[in-house]
């Protein structure tokens, strides 16, 4: 289902039906970020209040949540992938009970399912009950843009069983979501930058062979002064017609530099969030960004707001991070295209910084249809 169409809510209705159809059942929901786990737990509570037929429990196992999974006899376990994988490496016994009792496993952001970490956890969860069902959720049913082998591995993992949202009268669900106001209509534009460090033959080879742009190149772009000045000028122009703007930096340092410069210039308030930002401070800055205010606010980030982050008031995004991943690019775009029907906007602006010799994407429908041949 495309970004913004309600994958999590739809899945929770399926889970509620599964639990009401079984007197005692355990569902395990796996996600790789705390934000996605929080979202899942909240959505289950909403769904179960309307659809549930008995008292049941949510077992939280991510971040600082550390419940005893052996006490789970009925309900849903929402688990952070990194936490369950780390605990599993120390002792596989702690999820042994889950492996013997689980009847449905849900993988959020399912294009990650064949990654080694997910694979190790899934192997154990399926080790005792081969009849346990697996459901994957994603807006982008592929691993890459141009690696057919990886894409085929993902399709094979799910038995080539892809269930897509279809709407009668529409050639693809994105057209329907745009027409009905679930998605904002995006206007794509490019910010071309011809400067930056010259790419060596080694750099070009690495870009060609690696799954994505090497981090060293991203870090170089993140501190390129002329590039950042062009980005700052663009953001300040956007702030004259948008109240909430997300900026996806090229690196940790790049995101922080942009936020600091915007704030110092005084034209628009800005904060930065990266993987180095403490959890309590991250939550504080997200609350600040979501607050109701007519003053424009900008949230610059690197690597943490591509999934599990929902701020419908966001109506513009500046994508400074070049990527070969259609999945990643679509996730960044998706943060800014919540429609009027879900508290968002009628229109959205997506500005992509286009660097010389580096790849990019510009098409919304391509996100959903790119992998049809693989499946």
CATH number at residue 186: 3.40.50.300
Residues 235, 146 share a domain? no
196 within a domain of the structure (yes/no): yes
Q: Quickly state the pLDDT bin for 250 (edges 50, 70, 90).
A: very high
Cα diameter, the chain = 64
Contact (Cβ atoms closer than 8 angstroms) between residue 317 and residue 245: yes
Q: What is the pLDDT of residue 267?
A: 79
- Per-residue pLDDT tens for 347-373? 999 999 988 777 666 555 566 666 666
CA dist 79 and 40 (Å) reads 10
Q: What is the pLDDT of residue 310?
A: 79
Report the candidate in 109, 98, 92, 94 with the shortest Cα–Cα distance to residue 72.
98
Residues 219, 355 share a domain? yes
Q: What is the pLDDT of residue 318?
A: 96
Burial of 171 (0-12, 13-18, 19+ CB in 10 A): exposed
The count of domains in the chain is: 2
24 within a domain of the structure (yes/no): yes
80 within a domain of the structure (yes/no): yes
Q: Quickly state the pLDDT bin for 259 (edges 50, 70, 90).
A: very high
Residues 136, 205 share a domain? no
End-to-end CA distance of the chain: 15
Two tokens, residue 271? 């904060």
- Per-residue pLDDT tens for 301-336? 998 887 767 788 999 999 999 887 777 888 888 889
Q: For the whole model, what pTM was predicted?
A: 0.76
170 within a domain of the structure (yes/no): no
Domain of 131, in residue numbers: 7-157
Q: What is the pLDDT of residue 23?
A: 82
Residues 363, 326 share a domain? yes
Q: What is the pLDDT of residue 89?
A: 80
169 within a domain of the structure (yes/no): no
- Per-residue pLDDT tens for 222-246? 999 999 999 999 999 999 999 999 9
The more confidently predicted of residues 140 and 278 is 278
The pLDDT mean for the chain works out to 85
Of 117-126, 260-269, 284-293, the least confident = 117-126
Residues 196, 143 share a domain? no
Indicate whether 145 pLDDT > 60. Answer: no
Residues 362, 271 share a domain? yes
Indicate whether 146 pLDDT > 80. Answer: no
1 within a domain of the structure (yes/no): no
Q: What is the pLDDT of residue 175?
A: 87
Q: What is the pLDDT of residue 368?
A: 62
């Amino acid at each position: 289902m495309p970004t913004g169409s309600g994958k999590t809510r739809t899945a929770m209705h399926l889970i509620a039906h599964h639990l009401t159809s079984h007197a005692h059942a355990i569902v395990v929901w796996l996600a790789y970020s705390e934000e996605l786990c929080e979202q899942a737990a909240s959505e289950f509570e909403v769904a179960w209040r309307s659809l549930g037929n008995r008292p049941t429990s949510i077992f939280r196992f991510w971040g600082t949540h550390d419940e005893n999974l052996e006490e789970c006899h009925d309900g849903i376990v929402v688990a952070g992938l990194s936490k369950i994988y780390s605990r599993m490496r120390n002792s596989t016994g702690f999820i042994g009970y889950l492996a013997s009792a689980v009847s449905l496993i849900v993988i959020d952001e399912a294009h990650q399912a064949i990654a080694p970490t997910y694979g190790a956890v899934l192997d154990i969860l399926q080790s005792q009950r081969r009849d346990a069902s697996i459901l994957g959720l994603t807006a982008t049913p592929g691993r890459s843009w141009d690696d057919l082998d990886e894409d085929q591995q993902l399709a094979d993992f799910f038995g080539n069983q892809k269930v897509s949202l279809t709407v009668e009268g529409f050639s693809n669900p994105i057209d329907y979501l745009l027409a009905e106001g679930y998605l904002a209509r995006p206007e794509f534009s490019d910010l071309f930058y011809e400067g930056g460090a010259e790419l060596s033959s080694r750099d070009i080879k690495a870009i060609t062979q690696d799954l994505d742009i090497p981090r060293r190149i991203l870090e170089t772009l993140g501190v390129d002064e002329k590039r950042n000045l062009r980005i700052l000028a663009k953001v300040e122009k956007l702030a004259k017609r948008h109240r909430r703007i997300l900026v996806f930096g090229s690196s940790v340092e790049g995101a922080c530099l942009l936020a600091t410069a915007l704030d110092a210039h005084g034209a628009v308030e800005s904060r930065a969030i990266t993987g180095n930002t403490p959890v309590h401070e991250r939550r504080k800055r997200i609350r600040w960004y979501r607050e109701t205010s007519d003053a424009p606010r900008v949230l610059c980030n690197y690597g943490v707001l591509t999934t599990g982050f929902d701020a419908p008031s966001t109506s513009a995004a500046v994508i400074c991070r070049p990527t070969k991943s259609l999945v990643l690019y679509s996730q960044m775009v998706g943060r800014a295209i919540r429609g009027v029907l879900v508290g968002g906007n009628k229109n959205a602006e997506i500005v992509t910084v286009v660097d010389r010799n580096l790849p990019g994407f510009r098409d919304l429908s391509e996100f959903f249809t790119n992998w049809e041949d693989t499946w």
